[in-house]
Chains A and B, each alone.
Chain A
Amino acid sequence: MSRPTRVWITVIGLVVLLVFIGPFIFGVLASVPNYEQPIVEFSHKRHVQNAGIDCLYCHSGATRSPVSGIPSVEKCMGCHEHVLSGEAPIVKLQEYWENGEPISWTRVYQLPRYVHYPHHVHVSAGLNCETCHGNVGEMDIVTPAQIPNMGWCIRCHQGEENAVELMDCLNCHY
Chain B
Amino acid sequence: MKISRRDFIKVSIAGAASTVLVGCQPNQRYVELEPYVVPPEEAVAGQATWYATTCGMTPAGNGIIVRVMNGRAVKIEGNPEHPLNRGKLDALGQAGLQLLYHPDRLHGPVVQETPGRREFKPLHWNEAVNILAENVKRAGAGLAIWAGLTTSGHLVDLFKRFAKATDAPAPVFYDLYAALHSYDALASACGGALPTYDIRRADLVFAFGDFLGSGPNPVYYGVQFGAFRGQALGKRGYLAQFEPRMSITGAVADRWVPVKPGHEALAAGAMARIIAEEGFGGAERAARAGELAPEVDVAAVAEACDLEAEALVKLARAFAEAANPVAIPGGAPAGADNGVEATKAVQILNAIAGVGPLAPGVIPPGITPTTPSTFAEAQALIEKMQNGEVQTLLVYGANPVYELPEAAGFRQALNKVETVVSFSPIIDETAAWAHMVLPERTYLEGWGYRVVTANTGRTIISSRQPVVVPFYQDEATGPAYSTGDVLLTIARGIPDAIAALPWTDEVAYLKQMVGALPAGAYGGSDPDTRWARYLQHGGWWPAEDAEPAASIMELAPVKVKAAASQGEANEYPLYLHVYTPVMLGDGRGASLPWLQGSPDPMTTMTWRSWVEINPQTAHNMGIKDGDILKVTSPYGSIEAPAYVYPAIRPDTVAIPAGQGHLDSGRYAKNRGANVIDLLGATTDATGENLAWSNVRVKVERTGETINLPIFEDKKGAQEHLHF
Least distance between A33 CB and chain B CB atoms (Å):
6
**Contact flag A74-B36 (CB < 8 Å), given A6-B7, A21-B19, A25-B19:** yes
* Cβ–Cβ contact B33 & A70, under 8 A: yes
Minimal Cβ-Cβ distance residue in A for B19: A22
Main secondary structure of the interface of B (DSSP, over half): loop
Residues on A with C-beta less than 8 A from B10 are 10
Residue on B with the closest CB to A118? B46
Is residue A134 within 8 Å, beta carbon to beta carbon, of the partner chain?
no
Pick the residue among B3, B11, B25, B46 that contacts A61 (CB under 8 A): B46
- Give the residue name and chain of the A residue nearest to B30 (CB): A33
In the bound complex, how far is the Cα of B39 from the Cα of A135, in angstroms? 28
Q: Are A104 and B7 in contact (CB under 8 A)?
A: no
Contact residues in A for B37 (Cβ distance below 8 Å): 72-74, 96-97, 100-102
Q: Give Cα A44–Cα B30 distance, bound, in whole angstroms.
A: 21
Residues of A contacting B20 with CB < 8 Å?
25
- Which of B2, B33, B34 has most A Cβ within 10 Å? B33
Asked if A132 CB lies within 8 Å of chain B CBs, one says no
Write out the residue numbers on chain A whose beta carbons fall within 8 Å of the beta carbon of B27. Answer: 29-30, 32-34
Judging by beta carbons under 8 Å apart, are B1 and A1 in contact?
Answer: yes
**B570 interface contact, C-beta 8 A:** no
A21 to B159, CA, bound (A): 69
Contact B15–A17 (Cβ < 8 Å) = yes
A31 on the B face (CB < 8 A): yes
* Contact A105/B15 with A69-B44, A69-B46 known, Cβ cut-off 8 Å: no
Q: Beta-carbon contacts of A129-165 to B below 8 Å, as 1s and 0s?
A: 0000000000000000000000000000000000000
Residues of A in contact with B, size category? 35 or more
Known interface pairs A13-B14, A26-B23, A34-B28. Does A1 touch B45 (Cβ–Cβ under 8 Å)? no
Is B46 a contact partner of A102 (Cβ separation < 8 A)?
A: no
- B283: interface (CB < 8 Å): no
Any B CB within 8 A of the CB of A106: yes
In chain B, residues 3-54, which have Cβ atoms closer than 8 Å to a Cβ of chain A?
3-4, 7, 10-12, 14-16, 18-20, 22-25, 27-39, 44-47
Size of interface on B: residues with Cβ below 8 Å to A? 35
A119–B126 Cα distance when bound, in Å, is 47
Q: A118 to chain B: closest CB distance in Å?
A: 9
| Chain A: minimal CB distance from B36 (Å) | 4
Which residues of A88-105 are within 8 A (CB) of B?
A: 96-97, 100-105
A130 CA to B585 CA in the complex, in Å?
A: 56
Q: Is the CB of A25 within 8 A of B31?
A: no
Whether the Cβ atoms of A1 and B19 lie closer than 8 Å is: no
Give chain A nearest CB distance to B12 CB in angstroms. Answer: 7
B31-81 with Cβ < 8 A to chain A = 31-39, 44-47
What are the interface flags for B576-602 relative to A under an 8 Å C-beta threshold, 1 for contact and 0 otherwise? 000000000000000000000000000
Q: Once the chains bind, are B36 and A72 in contact (CB under 8 Å)?
A: yes
Ranked 7 nearest A-B pairs via Cβ: A67-B46, A69-B45, A17-B15, A13-B11, A26-B23, A34-B27, A107-B31
Question: B residues near A, CB below 8 A?
Answer: 1-4, 7, 10-12, 14-16, 18-20, 22-25, 27-39, 44-47
What would 11 more interface pairs be, CB under 8 Å, given A18-B15, A73-B35, A101-B37? A1-B1, A9-B1, A13-B11, A61-B47, A66-B47, A70-B33, A72-B36, A74-B37, A96-B37, A102-B35, A106-B31
User: Which of A's residues lie within 8 Å of B, judged by CB?
Assistant: 1, 5-6, 9-10, 13-14, 16-18, 21-22, 25-26, 29-34, 36, 61, 64-74, 96-97, 100-107, 110, 119
